Amino acid sequence: MSILDKNKVEHYNGISTLNNHSILKRGVRTMKYKVEVLTGIRPTNDLTIANYLGAVMPIIELQAQGISPVVFVADLHALTDNEPATIRQYIYGVVADYIALGVDPQKANIYLQSDIIGEVTTLTTLLSRHISVAELLRVPTLKDKLKANTRPETANTLLFLYPILMAADILLNRARKVPVGEDQLAHIEVTRLLARRFNKKYGEVFPIPDVLQVKPLRILSLKGEGKMSKTNPNGAIFLTDNLKTVARKIKSAETAFEMIVNEKLKSHILIAGKLAKTESEREEVDAIIQEHKTGKPVMGRFKQLFIRIVQNFLAEFQGKRAEIMRDPSYIPSVLEKGAKIARENAIETLQEVKRVLWLT
């Protein structure tokens, strides 16, 4: 139809688009938040305790308060710097990790990002025209990657589009809160910026998402080389590490000289405090750190306690994970159910986006 065909111009909220002074602007159905909390993890390796603390633990706490989270396996994001065959091999593992960490498939929705690839890539394209090349080049995560292991000449464009792809995930779900580690904060800012720009131009299509934590975590590599990452195994504690490996990794971790509490030690204290199962273990951590501050050489004792806390946590987790992996049809069935719900939700959002862009 012609966009100027008066007879076919629709009415929303009782307002005709033609009376709205802009003949080209279509009336908007203001969209509401659909998902309270959304998080995603790239299937690039087994998960680390940093992934748990930064992205999964906050949603387990919300789930306990009756909120139903949505979690997804970000296989399209993984494609930026991994081979498809590698990604394939980690997908079910990430789902098993989520569930063993406490995401309850009865309450939460768990889906695979590529199961809604059409919706995700369509919205990525439609959002792309609302951000400039210069703005994307300023995103700190891209700048870091370009410095660390790739150059603009060799970096693929999917890496460049990463923040827009992430915005598409969040906005398709119409998520209110996104728990992320500190490393992803800039991406959430891009999401908010894109949503605001889009809304300003076409009407309030997207509810604006926010980060969940007031102060997102940054868990450091045990080796002190930047943040802990699952693709940098040297300084990472994986949830699937065997208990001896964990002890070895912690023993060789860098700490701090007496009286000094540097960023590395702060990160160890944070991990120990968050993974401790009991209040008395947390008090033990505090007591040792107090002694350290007064100049006593207690880092050996601290490491012993740190190892015990992490091993206890991992032993319980690994027992649950093994249980989940016993039934091979369980995970595909969880993902199938997840895809259905995610698709319905995404289609609903995308329909409105396309409508205001006169694409339907």
Contact 71, 40 (CB under 8 A): yes
Helix (H/G/I), strand (E/B), else coil: 41: strand
Least Å distance, CB 201 to ligand ATP, is 29
**Stretch binding ligand ATP (CB under 6 A), from 65-73, 125-133, 163-171, 175-183:** 175-183
Q: Does 183 bind ligand ATP (CB under 6 A)?
A: yes
For the record, the structure tokens of 253 come out as 């971790």
Positions in 309-338 near ligand ATP (CB under 6 A): none
- How many other C-beta atoms lie within 10 A of the C-beta of residue 351? 12
Residue window 195-224: x/- pattern of binding to ligand ATP, with contact defined by CB under 6 A: ----------------------xxx-----
Q: How far apart are CA 31 and CA 44, in angstroms?
A: 33
Q: Does 227 bind ligand ATP (CB under 6 A)?
A: yes
Q: Does 247 bind ligand ATP (CB under 6 A)?
A: no
Q: Which position has the token pair 């590490």?
A: 241
H or E segment to which residue 109 belongs: strand 109-112
Nearer to ligand ATP, 17 or 109 (CB): 109
Least Å distance, CB 48 to ligand ATP, is 6
Nearer to ligand ATP, 166 or 339 (CB): 166
Nearer to ligand ATP, 218 or 292 (CB): 218
Nearer to ligand ATP, 41 or 195 (CB): 41
Q: How far apart are CA 191 and CA 164, in angstroms?
A: 7
Q: What is the DSSP letter of 82?
A: S
Positions in 102-161 near ligand ATP (CB under 6 A): none
CA angle 138, 142, 143 (to 5 degrees): 65
Q: Does 231 bind ligand ATP (CB under 6 A)?
A: yes
Q: Does 255 bind ligand ATP (CB under 6 A)?
A: no
Q: How far apart are CA 253 and CA 273, in angstroms?
A: 17
Q: Which residues pair with 48 in a beta bridge?
A: 238
Least Å distance, CB 53 to ligand ATP, is 6
Q: Does 191 bind ligand ATP (CB under 6 A)?
A: no
Least Å distance, CB 148 to ligand ATP, is 11
Q: How far apart are CA 174 and CA 31, in angstroms?
A: 8
Positions in 30-69 near ligand ATP (CB under 6 A): 41-42, 44, 48, 50-51, 53-55
For the record, the structure tokens of 110 come out as 């768990």
H or E segment to which residue 178 belongs: strand 175-178
Question: Contact with ligand ATP (CB under 6 A): which of 229, 255, 311, 349?
Answer: 229
Q: Which residues pair with 41 in a beta bridge?
A: 73
Q: How many residues bind ligand ATP (CB under 6 A)?
A: 21
Q: How far is CA 318 from CA 96, 97, 256, 345, in A?
A: 10, 9, 31, 33
Least Å distance, CB 231 to ligand ATP, is 3
Contact 59, 179 (CB under 8 A): yes
Question: Contact with ligand ATP (CB under 6 A): which of 99, 212, 228, 285?
Answer: 228
Q: Which residues bind ligand ATP (CB under 6 A)?
A: 41-42, 44, 48, 50-51, 53-55, 180-181, 183-184, 217-219, 227-231
